[in-house]
Amino acid sequence: MTTTTTRTSLLQRFILWRETHISERIFVLILSFIIGILTALAAFALKQLIGTIQHLLMPAIRQANVWYLILPPIGVLLTAGVVKLFIRDDISHGVTKVLGAMSQRKSRIKPHNMWSSLLASSITIGFGGSVGAESPIVMTGAAIGSNTGRLFKLEQRQLMLLVGCGAAGAIAGIFKAPIAGLVFVVEVLLLDLTLSSVLPLLISSVTSATTAYLLTGQQAMFSFYQNDPFTAERIPYVILLGIACGFTSLYFSKVMFALESWLKGRNNFFKRYGISMLILSVAIFLFPPLFGEGYSTLSDLMAGQYSSVTDNSIFASFGSNYWVIFAFLLCTMLVKVFASVATNSGGGCGGLFAPSLFVGGLCGFVFAYALNFFPFIEVYLPQKNFVLMGMAGVMAGVMHAPLTGTFLIAELTGGYNLLLPLMLVAICSYGTIRIFMPHSIYSLRLAQKGKLMTHSKDQAVLTVMSIDNVIETDFDKVYPDMTLGELVQVVGRAKRNLFPVVERETDKLLGVVSLDDIRNIMFRPELYDRYKVDRIMVSPPARIQSNMHMDHIMHLFDETKAWNLPVVTPEGQYLGYVSKSKIFNTYREVLNVLSPDE
């Protein structure tokens, strides 16, 4: 007996023992605890890899700024090589991939995603790629949850929950933010929060955050001391900042999609790589805070070390000038999205989680920094407070997740003293961008394809369903040159009362014959040779294209009032029929899978 066979046998015996001795609900809680530990270890490993690479490279960068032009392209090229030679799969857009897996692939994520995104993003970010590690770690955590569930043969409903546990654990582990991990799954991954799902998600988040504290210490990600308590007289300025963050989020999202589409249109890899790296290198050379994730810049701003943000740049000698700092940070904020998209489009691996925090922090700082200059504004706006508010605002706008933005920033700083203004900014930003963009940067691609699962039960079920689930192929085909007598013979052995009429050579659907249409003549033998099918057939009320989404198909049934509709390829070739009864039965089955027991 081989080692693999022995392992399979032991696993199968454990699964059978578990089914007898441990209920599924308790077993899911145990797995959520294990997933919390594993995602925290993965987040710790990712941070260590990035930190180690940057520690080795920073001495060279401090000696000569020219390394800003060289290192990021090297890192992106190494990442592209690793993906091409070893991974051989598309690992970009981590959160979007998780959303797609939940809505279209029954929450099944490939096993290599448990390590591939982690490895690739550490190289990209370690060498200075202007992206974040959070989306890759979400993909890693979701893959850990998915493959853990698949290992123990859990059904789709529990698999989806474990994917959510993995994502929640990933956010909680990398930020030490358990509440943010939970609300991220609800707001961004659109997982329903029910009595049966909240406990596993909480266990994963809290376990992961606790493990992260044990591994890295109890200090918060950003050191923040509340020297300026929030006062009511600042509320109008907080609301204005929220609106500014909303428009900044809109700018970030629109530029990201436009630039990404343009760069992806360059089909030749080396041409796309060259253009992307030119954008990235020049951006980082002019604005060094764009190197890597940029969290150190935010820490400097919150510590009041404003002049240090121009260090290692060609503007370093002007670092003490008030308006040079303002212009430098404003330009850095606007250019960040170009650097991030260029990093990913050129072949790098990283997310837009950290860039949105970075842009938000600069937005908040620039807003307060500029207004504090003018003497007619009598209310002092604490810049470090507004940095945090801006981070919450832009994250809420870009990700369409006001609760995630609020609680993440509160947990990142180790306190909730600014909870009210954080919520105000997040809500105003979210409300502003919703006017122009109904979906977040993560869900827009799927929404445009009709593949986005939402909190609406009906829409979620239709998203999970596909035409392959409901198509029926046991309808007897007939041909236009057949006589009525030949048609009657087909009717005699058929199980259905509908008969698609197709071309003999191409199977192209020409029409349909219903049993009701021939009932008056099918028992008159003298007409058997007089009538042919092409004279009897009629056009169907509508034709379902094989690439249509289920919500479109339901609209066709509503419009035509039909009970059965034929399915054809885009070229018109007949494939089968879809019936309302089949859709309703499949709908009930999928709803039972997606709706956990209360």
Exposure on the CB side of residue 440, measured as CA atoms within 13 A = 27
Distances, alpha carbon 598 to alpha carbons 110, 198, 256, in Å: 30, 11, 41
Per CATH, the architecture of 232-449 is what? Orthogonal Bundle (1.10)
**Other CB atoms within 10 Å distance of the CB of residue 439:** 16
Instruction: Name the residue with higher pLDDT: 547 or 47.
Output: 47
Reported as half-sphere exposure (CB side, CA atoms, 13 A), residue 396 has a value of: 33
Which tops the pLDDT comparison, 536 or 46? Answer: 46
pLDDT confidence band for 179 (50 / 70 / 90): very high
Residue 587 has pLDDT above 70, yes or no: no
Checking DSSP bridges between strand 544-545 and strand 574-579, what pairing results, if any?
A: unpaired
Query: For the chain, what are the domain ranges?
Result: 10-216, 232-449, 461-594
Residue burial 196-232, b: 16+ Cβ < 10 Å; e: rest:
bbeebbbbbbbbbbbbbeeebeeeebbebeeeeebee
Same topology, domains 232-449 and 461-594? Answer is: no
Q: What's the pLDDT at 243?
A: 97
Structural tokens at position 394: 């832009």
Q: What is the spatial distance between Cα 391 and Cα 425, in angstroms, rounded to a whole number?
A: 9
Please report, for residues 137, 308, 421, the alpha-carbon distance to residue 447 in angstroms, rounded to integers and kept in the order given: 23, 42, 31
What's the pTM value of the predicted model, to 2 decimals?
Answer: 0.78
Q: For the residues of 238-292, what is the DSSP string, one character each?
A: HHHHHHHHHHHHHHHHHHHHHHHHHHHT--SHHHHHHHHHHHHHHHHHH-GGGST
Mean pLDDT of 183-211: 88
With CA atoms as reference, report the closest residue to 578 among 497, 469, 493, 503: 469
Give residue 192's pLDDT band: very low, low, confident or very high (50, 70, 90): confident
Q: Is 482 helix (H, G, I), strand (E, B) or coil?
A: coil
CATH of domain 461-594: 3.10.580.10
What's at 478, amino acid-wise? V
CATH number attached to the domain at 10-216 = 1.10.3080.10
Q: Residue 598 has what pLDDT? A: 43
CB 304 within 8 A of CB 325: no
Which pLDDT belongs to residue 528? 79
92 has pLDDT over 90: no
Q: What percent of the chain has a predicted confidence (pLDDT) above 70?
A: 92
- Cβ atoms within 10 Å of 546's Cβ, excluding its own: 15
pLDDT tens by residue, 430-478: 999 999 988 887 777 665 555 555 545 455 555 656 777 788 888 899 9
Could you tell me the strand order of the sheet in which 544-545 lies?
544-545, 564-568, 574-579
Question: In the structure, what pLDDT confidence band is assigned to residue 486 with cuts at 50, 70 and 90?
Answer: confident
Q: Which residue type, as a one-letter code, is found at position 364?
A: G
pLDDT at 252 exceeding the cut of 50: yes
The predicted pLDDT at position 597 comes to 47
Structure tokens at 66: 């020219």
Cβ within 8 Å of residue 19, ≥6 positions away: none
Between 410 and 318, where is the model more confident? 410
